[in-house]
Structure 1
Amino acid sequence: MIKCFLPLLVFFTLQVSSQSKNDRIEEVISLRLKSKDQKIKLEDRIKYAVQSVDLAKQIKIDSSLILSNRQLSLLYYEAEAYDKYLRLNKENIEIAQKLNDSTSIAISNDNIAIYFHYNQVNDSAYFYYSKALKFYDDKKLSRKATILLNIADLQDTEKDYYGSEENAINALKIFENLPETEDNLDNLWILNNLLGIVSLKLGHYDKSLEYHDKAERVSRNMRNGFYNKIYSTNNKAFVYRKKENYSKAIELYSSLIQIRDQYDDYDPAFYPLVIDNMAYTKLVSGSKNFDEMERLFKEAYKISDTLNDATTKLQISIDLSKFYLNRKQQDSSLKYANMAYRIAKETSSNEILLDALKVLSKLKEGEDGKSYLNEYIRVQDSLLTVERSKRDKFARIEFETDKVEQANERMSEQLIWLLAISGGLLVTLFLLYIIITQRAKNKELKFEKEQQQANEEIYNLMLSQQDKVDEARAGEKKRISEELHDGVLGRLFGTRLSLDSLNFSEGKEAISNRATYIKELMTIENDIRKISHDLNTDFVSGSGFMDIVSELIEKQTQAYQLKSTFNYTDDINWEMVHNKTKINIYRIIQESLQNIYKHANANGVKISIQLKNNVICLSIVDDGDGFDVNKSKKGIGIKNINSRVNEVHGKAEFNSIINKGTEVSITIPYKN
């Protein structure tokens, strides 16, 4: 009876647990829906969203937590709690990465990018847009195109016009193949308008007009496209002015002035901008109707001043200053130039700031004029530097995100292979289990297990042997490299310097010296041959070690034109010192002398070898320029010395004072 009841009890418990979890999932969804209800106050909607997040964490369903976090972050953005907005989106990226949820990764990066874009932190916005773009799949074409549009806008702001044009065209191609919804039409207008502006900045006037014409055609299909249409007309008029087709520009501006009543309530700052452009176009066209121009300029200025619209007032002020400069009314020109200068500084409008500085440099005489001109040059150079830096940074961000994408692709590929291998292994084990169970061949299973263990041992032995071979090869390569760099190349360098010093010498003594150095070159040739054929040759055998060291110091210092002193103790029995130790001491001295010549600008060097407390103490002191020890630790010379000291279980210490010199202290155990 108990045996029958127990399974029923377990089944009933599991059913209740499952039902309880489903109920809580439904509650999470319900709270999330309440947080989206626009009829509820924002404060209460945030409370519902927080409850939804907390409950999703309790039931430990990450996919539900991502959705709740996302909704709460949007409410925080609406409430201008930007720190919490960023934190939740970054948290969502981490959760989505664990789930391999590329869409959620893309959305969170996209949300962060929008925040930075709005706050004009353009490099961060570009970084997160680029990451989002890599994770959106082809099902999210509209969102991918919108990101391309936003990136193009950032690049236009940072004056990367070619990059902006490329991304805007790619976005345009996508939107042109999407259904004609209001959002898609709005984006089509924005893209054509942006391409018209960018083409103008690149000096492609006809192409600019084509894009503005396309934008105007798109506006006709929009539900509320009237305002888009008048902005396109204004932009076209500006392009015609740049093309010096003044009559066409004036015609378009006039058409906008005539319909003022249709847009004045919607955008009161547009009319003063239009009449300012009309007046300035007449000025540059060579019109002599100065009274009408002045009336239009002043009307535009008065309206913008009443509206307290800094951007429009700035443009009108600089145009007025140019108008009065043209009329040679310096006081009036100066008044509006100063006004434009002040507003441009306050609003960081750098292009108009440059215009204002140029006008002021013409109006002011003497040092004041030079001061404005110098500021103009400084601001222009600074802007060019910043522009180049931003473009380089964008390029680096794109390169790094490409690297991340490649790494993700490799990880995905490795994961697929791992899953495939794991699946194959599971199937194999399952089939093996069935065979073993059906045939009950325990002896065969034991035999197979023993075989497998034997194979693993043989394989591990082979790996161990290969490691030893590789280690030996690596050690041999390193030793050969150090021998060539520290030995042969150093002597070649010294001999070449000595021969160079004899280029302009004549006579028997010079001939004799040349012969000596040619013999030295032959000796070096033999040394190279010896290194190739017998790497373990003890080059110090057959002569006193201190004599060899003395000869090295004498030759090197003579070639380097250094004064030298060499002191050593007789307490060391060099015959009892291992050859490897002697070789490394020799090479350390040689490397140090070469470093002193190349980098120290020293006049003299003192070298000492002593025995203290059963330790060989090598000291090399120069009177050169000195160097920052912390900054130079990665130099090849210091690396080689440290490598050699480590080989003989010694210690190296570098002490240097700028403009006073350097001391290298080496201590090596002495085994008598």
Structure 2
Amino acid sequence: MKKYFYFLFFSLLPFGCKDTNGKKPIEITTNDSSSIYLNKAQNKNTKIADKLKYYKKSFTILKNQENDSITRSKLFELTKELYKNNFEREFLSSVNLLTKLATKSKDSFYLAQAYRSKGSFYKHQATKDSAFIYYTEAEKILKKIKHKEGLSLVLINKSLIQFDTGDYTGADRTLNNAYLISKKNNEIDNLYAISVMMGLTSLETKDFDKAIQYFNYGLEIVSKNNNIIGEFNKETCLNNIGLSYQRKAEQKKSVEDYKKSIEYFKSALKNKSIRTEDPELYNLLTDNLGYSYLKTENLDQALALFLESLKIREELNYPNQIVLSKVHLSEYYRQVNDTAKSKKYIFEALSLAKKEKAYRDYLNALKQASIIDVQNASTYSKEYIRLSDSIRNVEILSQEKFARIQLETDEIIKEKDILEDKNRSLLYTFIGVVFLLSMLFVVRAQRARTKELMFKQAQQRANEEIYNLLMAQQDVIDQSREIEKKKIARDLHDGILSRMFGARLNLDSINHLDDPESVKKRLEYLNELKEIEQDIREISHDLSREKQDLINNFVSITTNLFEEQTATHSAKLTYFMDSSIKWDLVKNNIKINVFRILQEGLQNINKYAKAKTISVNFRKENNELHISIEDDGIGFDVSKKSKGIGMQNMISRAIDCNGKLDINSSKENGTKITLNIPLE
């Protein structure tokens, strides 16, 4: 039954990678006779007999050509075409010639491709030990030349053989190695295949939760990438997830898990095109869905699905799957107490499985027969145990053989690595000794002559360093004084004067009013003046509380500024602050300068713009902070307007943040100030 899970996509794996070894691909010209015949054979309108004739002619020409990289590349293309078209004898001739030429020219890449092709051929022929040997040889070479793309595909095919022989631990280990390579190279097709295979391996080891996790990962890959090789990959994953829940339900006797499996099978069957385009997947889904219905007592639906699945399988002539359908029908009729029909279907299943030598399906039929035919139950049980032991012994022998092959390969690689390390160590030692002797000779020859020069140079450097230190100290003092002056000037202008100006305007507006609300506001503005007085005191000691507030809670203080603007001025203010900006990670000097520029911009609008609306936006794009302040006021001519101290401070603060400040305005069209600051 294992082959039913992965036949839908692994048939495309043998030649899935590009034929390149990390260098520029060889261009195959089409003006030579071998390529012309190959192109004729590849024409979809060419008959099978003519294809074979053209392939043979191309092979004859290549066999007599010089053994160079172009010949080997063409020969590999021919080998692939012969494999795809099932010309077995000609394929073996071509791949054996490729092996001979690659070995003779020490072309590791094409030798690995030849071994990989042979492995695929023998896997198709069900000669698993030969396939495993050739895949292992290809793996060894690809590891040596570090061709990771081809290596992951070889490992996937190796894991298939290990899976088929029941070596689930070995298959899981091989798939993990393939996953690391495919993940690094972003090989989406391989990652999908690996996730499904790891799910199947977990399914066979009865780790159902892990299987569901792997199948869901495969489903996620399919959802994000629509160009994965193969059709109905999504539906295949849904089927496998449903099957995992079904097996889990069988083990735990859980009706809920059977219901979950039904959801996944039905979700896959929503794609109506499966019925006509992939009847094999369709009959698998209907049979699985029917079995889950059977276990949840939906008997009428189960029978209809079993009969539909059986009909399709008989039309397609799939003996193994027919056996499975008849086993399920036998189980159905047993459940509805129709013993006669139950026996009829199970005897038919036993006969067909034995005839087709489908031993695993025969085991399932024997198990069901022992339940239905109670009189002969012991006979069926003995036959079941005998056949099960026989299959297991064959699998154990295969696993041991594969383990020996892998062990021998690992030992050869280990010995080779040790030898390479020894040779490398000897080479490095020799180079080191020669280098040291050369250096000793040079040092000895130069020592006497340079001793006096070194003393003079040291004295001269000491004098220069003393002078440079004195100059640097003076420069630092001068710069610090200048920076501090500018800093205090900016803080006074942008912070203190802005707030005093606002307080003065507000006091003027309510000076002649004596109502309680005005009295209350006057007290508030007097408190504001007290705070301004405190700020002046803190600036004098370089301990500005407002700077710390900006640093620690920039969003809150900026919001307060906007609310104060709305409360004290008639212009309608709207603002937007991008939630993706992480202010905790923004440098403190940037937050302080941005706030001051914002204060100055709003103050200028209130003084001169006569605006009705103001818009402020904070956005983050491409690791840059974008801030815009826009109004619909009277505007001004930017080219004629002289830059006062406020404007100069805004530009200076932008430069301090390594940013850029742009002012766009014209008369009667409002003003827009844009500030762009890079974020580290």
TM-score scaled to structure 1, two decimals?
Answer: 0.52
Against the structure 1 CA distance between its residues 413 and 339, is the aligned structure 2 distance closer, same or farther, given a 3 Å change threshold? Answer: same
Alignment of 1:472-487 (within 5 A): none
Q: CA deviation at 1:129?
A: 0.1
Give the alignment of 1:469-508 within 5 angstroms: none
Distance, in Å, in 2 between the alignment partners of 1:303 and 1:74 is 33
Q: Distance in 2 between matches of 1:116 and 1:240?
A: 34
Q: How does 1:18-167 map to 2 (within 5 A)?
A: 30-37=32-39, 38-39=42-43, 42-43=51-52, 45-56=54-65, 59=66, 61=67, 63=69, 66-78=72-84, 80-136=86-142, 137=144, 139-167=146-174
Q: How does 1:326-365 map to 2 (within 5 A)?
A: 326-365=335-374
Determine the structure 1 residue equivalent to 2:323.
Answer: 314
Q: What SS does the aligned partner of 2:275 have?
A: coil
Amino acid at match of 1:234: N
The separation in 2 between residues aligned to 1:165 and 1:87, in whole angstroms, is 34
Distance 1:89 1:375, change over 3 A: same
1:175 aligns with 2:182: yes
Q: Given the alignment, which residue of 207, 212, 215 partners 1:212? A: 215
Equivalent in the alignment of 1:607: none
- Please give the per-residue CA displacement for 1:88-145, whole angstroms capped at 9, x wherever unaligned: 4334334433433221221111111110011111111110000000001455211100
Matched pairs, number: 387
* 2:384 aligned residue: 376
1:266 counterpart = 2:277: yes
Give the superposition deviation at 1:206: 1.5
Shift of 1:62: 5.4
Rounded to whole Å, the distance in 2 between the matches of 1:34 and 1:419 is 50
- Which among 267, 288, 302 is matched to residue 255 of structure 1? 267
Residues 375, 248 of structure 1: CA spacing in aligned structure 2 closer, same or farther, 3 A cutoff? same
Q: Distance in 2 between matches of 1:369 and 1:405?
A: 53
Moved more, 186-195 or 400-409: 400-409
Q: Tell me, yes or no, if the aligned pair for 1:317 and 1:340 is still in contact at 8 Å.
A: yes
Query: Which letter does structure 1 place at the counterpart of 2:242?
Result: A
What amino acid is the match of 2:121? Y
CA displacement 1:18-75 (0-9 Å, x = unmatched): xxxxxxxx9998234324423375245324423432432xx5x455554454344344
Query: Offset at 1:170?
Result: 1.6
Residue 240 of structure 2 corresponds to 235
CA contact (8 A) 2:152 2:190 kept: no
C-alpha separation between the residues in 1 aligned to 2:84 and 2:372?
A: 49
Contact 1:276 1:297 in 2 (8 A): yes
| Cα distance in 2 between the residues matched to 1:230 and 1:292 | 21
Task: Tell me which of 287, 296, 308 is aligned to 1:276.
Answer: 287
Distance 1:347-1:218 versus aligned 2 partners, 3 A rule: farther
Instruction: Give the distance between the partners of 1:382 and 1:365, measured in 2 at CA.
Output: 24
Q: Write the deviation string for residues 437-469 of structure 1: whole angstroms up to 9, x where unpaired.
A: xxxxxxxxxxxxxxxxxxxxxxxxxxxxxxxxx
1:394 equivalent in structure 2: 402
Q: Distance in 2 between matches of 1:68 and 1:124?
A: 25
Cα contact 2:102–2:111 (8 A) shared by 1: yes
Provide Cα deviations, 1:286-337, integer angstroms capped at 9, x if missing partner.
Answer: x2x4333323322332333334333432221111112222333221111111
In structure 2, which of residues 324, 332, 335 is the aligned counterpart of residue 323 of structure 1?
332
Q: Does the C-alpha gap of structure 1 residues 68 and 294 become closer, same or farther in structure 2, counting only changes over 3 Å?
A: closer
Are the counterparts in 1 of residues 34 and 59 from structure 2 also a CA contact under 8 Å? no
Q: Which amino acid is 2:220 matched to?
A: R
Q: What's the TM-score once normalised by structure 2's chain length?
A: 0.52
Aligned mates of 1:80, 1:273 — CA distance in 2: 27
Indicate the percent of aligned positions where both proteins have the same amino acid: 26
Q: Is the alpha carbon distance of 1:412 and 1:139 closer, same or farther for their aligned partners in structure 2, counting shifts above 3 Å?
A: closer
* Closer/same/farther in 2, CA of residues 99 and 231 from structure 1, 3 Å limit: same
Cα RMSD between the aligned structures?
3.4
What pairs up with 1:529-544 in 2 under 5 angstroms?
none
Cα distance in 2 for partners of 1:340, 1:186 equals: 37
Distance across 2 between alignment mates of 1:398 and 1:30: 42
Contact 1:49-1:68 within 8 A present in 2 as well: no
Q: Comparing 387-396 with 200-209, which one deviates more in the overlay? A: 200-209
CA distance 1:413–1:93, change in 2 (3 Å): farther
d(CA) in 2 for partners of 1:35, 1:408: 43
Amino acid at match of 2:193: I
User: Aligned to 1:269, what secondary structure does the other structure show?
Assistant: helix
Q: Hey, what does 1:304 align to over in structure 2?
A: 313
Query: Unaligned 5+ residue runs, structure 1?
Result: 1-25, 421-672
Could you tell me which residue of structure 2 aligns to residue 291 of structure 1?
300
Q: Secondary structure of the residue that 2:64 maps to in structure 1?
A: helix
- How many angstroms does 1:382 deviate by? 0.1
Contact 1:318–1:352 under 8 Å retained in 2: no
The verdict on how the C-alpha distance between 1:221 and 1:138 changes in structure 2, with shifts beyond 3 A counting, is farther
Aligned residue number for residue 195 of structure 1: 198
Q: Once the 2 structures are TM-superposed, how far is the Cα of residue 386 of structure 1 from its aligned partner? A: 0.6
Does the C-alpha gap of structure 1 residues 250 and 55 become closer, same or farther in structure 2, counting only changes over 3 Å? closer
Partner-residue secondary structure (3-state), 1:146: helix
CA contact (8 A) 2:287 2:325 kept: yes
- Structure 2: distance between partners of 1:42 and 1:303: 33
Deviation for aligned residue 1:198? 0.8
State the secondary structure of the residue aligned to 1:120. coil
In the alignment, is the contact (CA less than 8 A) between 2:129 and 2:402 conserved in 1? yes
Given that 2:222 and 2:234 are in contact with CA atoms closer than 8 Å, whether structure 1 keeps it comes out as yes
Q: Contact 2:109/2:145 (CA < 8 Å) preserved in 1?
A: no
Cα distance change on mapping 1:283 and 1:27 into 2, 3 Å: closer
* Structure 2 CA distance for partners of 1:166 and 1:35, relative to 1, 3 Å: farther
Q: 1:87 to 1:237 in 2, by over 3 A?
A: same
Partner AA of 1:151 in structure 2: K
